[in-house]
Structure 1
Amino acid sequence: MESFYLGFYQSEQSPTIYTQGNLPVGEANKLYKKLSTHDSFTATTSLTQHSSSSDDYVKIKRSFFNILLVIFIAITGMVLLVLLIKLVTRKTPDRSIEGKVMGTWSGLYRFSKVEIEKAINYGNSKVSLGSGSAGRVYQGVLPSGQLVAVKHIYKNAMSDSFTREVERLSKIRHPNLVGLLGCCIENGEQYLVYEYCGNGNLAQNLLRSDRVLPWDKRVRILKDCALALRFLHTHPDGCIVHRDIKLTNILLTETMEPKLSDFGLAKLIGIEESKVFTDVRGTIGYMDPEYMTNAKLTTASDIYSFGIVVLQLLSGKKVIELDIEARETLTTKAKDAALGRRPLEDFVDPRLNGELNLKDFESILRVAVLCVASSSRGRPTTKEVYDEMNKAWKNTFTTTPALARRVTRQLSMSRSRSHSLSMEFMEGKTPLFNTLAILPLWVLRFYMINGSSSSLC
């Protein structure tokens, strides 16, 4: 006899006995008769259909499996959705910035990251030219041999710093604004490539211990910077407010020609607007107190910062440690000297050893004091500032024969360099944008020789 199974399950009304297996018919009948005599049981064999309890058991088992399947599908879908969102958000900023860059000015050269790395690593080690809040600047060499300055934008820097620089410098060209040669956006890295200024920034030259910045060069630097400001503030597309004018943002070429740089905070004010309300940004010690108080940005804010620059060039005071308290001390001393409350010589940089024109010094000092007036209403316009600086430069240029000879010699050197670049371009050795960058220089040099500003701005 083969084995069989006998079991039962308890219900609320009566227990139910069932059998499973190959049970002989006779034995099954005997078992059935015995069980049928007991009115509390009902015999059930595997030969009959399943009971309602078995059906319920199968249904519960299938429902549980379906629930697990749904949960698994939901979790998988959530994981895929999160990965998709991360992938999209990682690539979207680069595409957005890239579209803005390429749509700004078609003449802006697009460097690859390989070209940038080759330019920076041309020697045994990287040469750092300095760093700021937005990034670090390295010296680079292009395949043509031209020296350039490469700024690597920090990833945690302001997201609009890169875009502002590209939008502003790619649209404007002026001899006293640093030239933007190209940019690079690749794998989340951002680079800006500028023309190289071999003499560093103005702060470094003012504070050098081995050399004194002569009076005539200081006047020329102030005149050219005022000219650049006038160009920005009267731009046909609208007034461009720099917002971060300071000595370290004024670069000097090999011929000590100043170049205003770092347009990461620049703000465009529409033609029909005279002011805008915006977030307060800049460098402490150079920032307009009125702008810091009410966040109202106008061209007068740049005038104030330029006034602080002028006072430092006149006095030779240290600028690295300049803060609000030091600024107040500097401006108060300047006002006292301009109003005759203290000798004028007290404000003169002692390292000049008296080699300056005190009359021009006094006129520049008075303009600077007006520039740093506490109220913007008392400050002069950019045109008025430039006119005074240009007048002082003319006096310095015409009254010093040695200076005239030196300037003429520097202009001859610049012409030779310009001619060399032009010949290299004609021979296919220099990119087009390098040659175009030198063309505006002829305009300024023509102006310097003829002493006329009618053809500029």
Structure 2
Amino acid sequence: MVALTSINEELEHSTGPKRFALRYLALATNNFSDDLKLGEGGFGCVYKGLLSREDSIVAVKKISQGSKQGKKEYMTEVKIISSLRHRNLVRLIGWCHDKTQFLLVYEFMPNGSLDSHLFHQKTVLKWDVRYNVAIGLASSLLYLHEECDQCVLHRDIKASNIMLDSGFNAKLGDFGLARLMDHEMVLKTTGLAGTLGYMAPEYASTGKASKESDVYSFGVVALEIACGKMATGKYDPESDLGLVEWVWGLHGKTQLLLGVDPMLNNEFKAEEVECLMMVGLWCSHPNRSLRPSIRQVIQALKFERMLPSLPTRMHVPMYFSGPDGPEISSSSATMTNTSIDLVR
């Protein structure tokens, strides 16, 4: 409670997000009507709302009452995202903490989340839109990793956390699992958090997050954008290969273009598709030290630098924790397709 009170005081004196009264947000969402529900997650629901005084449409995230993890993520999100400003981040407009109620107010994203277009046939995104989304997402990570006062590790980069504005520009959201790290630090022991399929192998093994583990997640999303396939799907009838392994196999046979989303109807720029898929593999390299920085990713996507020569076969290294932290095995968690946080 002391922590929440201090956060409230800090934010009320800041020039960023503002505090809203619960009754005002209830009015804006027609008392949190199911008809205005945009989505539902493990820790609460998101509603479309109209702020009458501001004359603006917003998205209101209402944390489930009794969800300790939801409240923890609320505090993290308010503390971290309230100080961030970037064109490719979802803007936090306001917040509300009223006794047992916790709510966050964001700018409304009329085109929903990236996954709804890639995997749920909301609309078929044209290639130029997809490539712009990839560059926009990379730009948001460059800001978080290199341009903030402290490095921000997002830890849950995935298609459902990438929102699309009215012009289909990418906006990274959901900072509930994010952590701050000094720029000179290489690894931060955070405990395991994230989503199956997007989690870097060394992070799943050791619980140590890094810029490179965020880059790995970006790489998986890049492959999803190009292929229109989910990270956790099975794409080889004779094995349990996930998306990264499947695309690596295509690379080994110099058949990358066979992996392109068929919904594009062959309407794409081949050099951009191959570039995005190779960048995706480079970012999701199993060896953390061989992944690019996000700045190198942007340079590659803009054809300002050469891509590396990647091996034709994907190898799987072993990871062990260093002396400054215990080893955390991914087997200690029940893995799902939703975000998890093993820090209790």
| Secondary structure in 2 matching 1:175 | coil
Residue 141 to residue 327, structure 1, CA distance change in 2 (3 Å)? farther
CA contact (8 A) 1:101 1:166 kept: no
1:186 matched residue in structure 2: 98
Q: Which residue of 2 aligns with 1:309?
A: 221
- Counterpart CA distance in 2 for 1:352 and 1:303 is 26
After superposition, residues 144-293 of structure 1 pair within 5 angstroms as: 144-154=54-64, 155-158=66-69, 159-209=71-121, 211-293=123-205
Cα distance in 2 for partners of 1:203, 1:327 equals 22
Q: Would the alpha carbon gap of residues 327 and 315 (structure 1) be closer, same or farther in structure 2, given more than 3 Å must change? A: farther
Q: Which moved more, 1:287-296 or 1:326-335?
A: 326-335
State, as a whole percentage, how many aligned pairs show the same letter: 33
Question: Which blocks of at least 5 consecutive residues in structure 2 are unaligned?
Answer: 305-344
Residue in 1 aligned with 2:14? Answer: 106
**Equivalent residues of 2:20, 2:95 under 8 A apart:** yes
SS in 1 for 2:160: helix
Indicate which of 94, 116, 124 corresponds to 2:25: 116
> Once the 2 structures are TM-superposed, how far is the Cα of residue 123 of structure 1 from its aligned partner?
9.4
Secondary structure of the structure 2 residue equivalent to 1:191: strand
Residue 300 of structure 1 is matched in structure 2 by: 212
Distance 2:215 2:198 in 1: 10
Please give the TM-score of this superposition, normalised by the length of structure 2: 0.81
3-state DSSP class of the match of 2:85?
coil
Which secondary structure does the structure 1 equivalent of 2:167 belong to?
Answer: coil
Question: What CA distance in whole angstroms lies between the structure 2 residues aligned with 1:289 and 1:347?
Answer: 23
In structure 2, the partner of 1:359 is: 271
2:244 to 297, 321, 331: 331
Partners of 2:248 and 2:202 lie apart in 1 by: 19
* Secondary structure of 2:109 counterpart: coil
CA displacement, residues 312-359 of structure 1 (integer Å, 9 cap, x when unaligned):
11111145x649x999431122112223x1523321111111111111
Change (3 A) 1:126 1:98: farther
In structure 2, distance between residues paired with 1:130 and 1:157 = 20
Q: The residue matched to 2:242 in structure 1 has which SS?
A: helix
So what's the TM-score if we normalise by structure 1? 0.61
The one-letter amino acid paired with 1:151 is K
The CA distance in 1 between the partners of 2:34 and 2:274, in whole Å, is 47
Following TM superposition, by how much is the alpha carbon of 1:381 offset from its aligned partner in structure 2, in angstroms?
Answer: 0.5
Task: Please tell me whether the aligned partners of residues 178 and 260 of structure 1 are also in contact (alpha carbons under 8 angstroms).
Answer: yes
Q: What is the alpha-carbon distance in structure 1 between the residues aligned to residue 120 and residue 246 of structure 2?
A: 23
**What is the Cα deviation at residue 272 of structure 1?**
3.3
Q: Kindly report the root-mean-square deviation, in angstroms, between the aligned alpha carbons of the 2 structures.
A: 2.3
* DSSP 3-state at the match of 1:317: coil
Return the letter of the residue paired with 2:74. F
Distance 1:294 1:367 in 2: 25
* Pairs aligned (count): 297
- Alignment equivalent of 2:50, drawn from 134, 141, 163: 141
Match of 2:333 in 1: none
- 5+ residue gaps, structure 1, are 1-92, 393-457
Report the Cα offset of residue 126 of structure 1: 4.1
* C-alpha distance 249-227 of structure 1, shift in aligned 2 (>3 A): same
C-alpha distance in 2 between matches for 1:236 and 1:182: 21
Q: Is the 1:120–1:126 Cα contact (8 Å) retained in structure 2?
A: no
1:346 matched residue in structure 2: 258
3-state secondary structure, aligned to 2:97: strand
Larger radius of gyration: 1
Counterparts of 2:152 and 2:240, CA distance in 1: 25
CA distance in 1, matches of 2:181, 2:285: 22
Alignment deviations for residues 378-437 of structure 1 (CA, whole Å, 9 cap, x no partner): 111010111122339xxxxxxxxxxxxxxxxxxxxxxxxxxxxxxxxxxxxxxxxxxxxx
The residue type equivalent to 1:127 in the other structure is: L
Cα separation, partners in 2 of 1:117 and 1:126, compared to 1, 3 Å: farther
Q: 1:266 to 1:358 in 2, by over 3 A?
A: same
2:4 aligned partner = 97
Per-residue deviation, 1:258: 1.0
**SS in structure 1 at match of 2:88:** coil
Q: Which moved more, 1:154-163 or 1:233-242?
A: 154-163
* Aligned partner of residue 193 in structure 1, secondary structure: strand
- Say whether the 8 Å CA contact 1:242–1:266 is kept in structure 2: yes
**Cα pair 1:201 1:249 within 8 Å, conserved:** yes
Structure 2 counterpart of 1:273, which letter?
Answer: M
